[in-house]
Amino acid sequence: MNDVIQTIAVYAIPVIFAITLHEAAHGYVAKYFGDATAYLQGRVSLNPLKHVDPVGTILIPLVLALLPFGFVFGYAKPVPVNFENLRDPKRDMIWVALAGPAANLVQAFVWVGIGTLFELSGVTEPYFGRVVSAGVIVNCVVFAFNLIPVPPLDGGRIVMGLLPDRAALPYSRIEPYGFFIVMGLVAFGLLGVWMGPIVNGLVFFFNSLSAIL
């Protein structure tokens, strides 16, 4: 039980920030390109309570904390975006989709900076080091997961924006089955094939950056 509490204590802040800023970034960029749907619903906000999903933000992380996976993961309520309101829906869809993963990369850099400040300040408490490490890992995982090229994930939106219209329309029709496709990837162990190299490469990069700083 103590291990579970420690895991939650380490990962709670990184997970909340990772998913909150990810969703807020989608809403902010959508507003910039002409769709104020999320803004009008109060979702362009850094308040985590605006983005909390009872299952994805609370239940799933708690369940994962009880399992020997070594990390806690969750998701927030998706920010509503009306792509038809965008000035150039097909093009701007790409930028809106990229905004979330980009926010996670920025956060990983910030966590490295925080870790560097701790070291320069002489902070030696292991807990803070573990939170910094969790911050980097969580954001790399959220980045890689959301870039899976299956709608409605960000990667799927990006692919739809890049495909010619005659191919984008049929591709968009798999969106209602996106969740089941991802679960299938998990069941057959293929999710790690996609995410493993990306996450490991990014974590190695940020660890190397931390060592340089």
SS3 call for 197: helix
Token pair for residue 145?
């997961």
pLDDT at 74: 60
In a 13 Å sphere around the CA of 124, the CA atoms on its Cβ side amount to 1
Q: How far apart are CA 153 and CA 169, in angstroms?
A: 16
Q: How far apart are CA 73 and CA 213, in angstroms?
A: 28
Phi-psi region of 178 (alpha: psi -120 to 50; beta: other; left: phi over 0): alpha
pLDDT at 69: 54
Name the H helices within 33-152.
37-40, 60-65, 89-120, 126-146
Contact 97, 79 (CB under 8 A): no
Catalytic residue (choose from 23, 84, 119, 175):
23
SS3 call for 129: helix
| 206 to 16, 108, 116, 200: CA distances (angstroms) | 20, 7, 12, 10
Number of domains in the chain: 1
Q: Percent of the chain beyond pLDDT 70?
A: 92
pLDDT at 91: 95
Contact 31, 85 (CB under 8 A): no
Contact 75, 53 (CB under 8 A): yes
Contact 162, 156 (CB under 8 A): no
pTM over 0.85: yes
Q: How far apart are CA 193 and CA 163, in angstroms?
A: 24
What residue numbers bound the domain in which 153 lies? 2-212
pLDDT band per the 50, 70, 90 thresholds, residue 193: confident
125 an active-site residue? no
Q: How far apart are CA 48 and CA 107, in angstroms?
A: 15
pLDDT at 204: 94
Q: How far apart are CA 13 and CA 139, in angstroms?
A: 12
pLDDT band per the 50, 70, 90 thresholds, residue 72: low
| 184 to 108, 150, 189, 194: CA distances (angstroms) | 29, 12, 8, 13
pLDDT tens-place string over residues 137-154: 999 999 999 999 999 899
Q: How far apart are CA 36 and CA 173, in angstroms?
A: 25
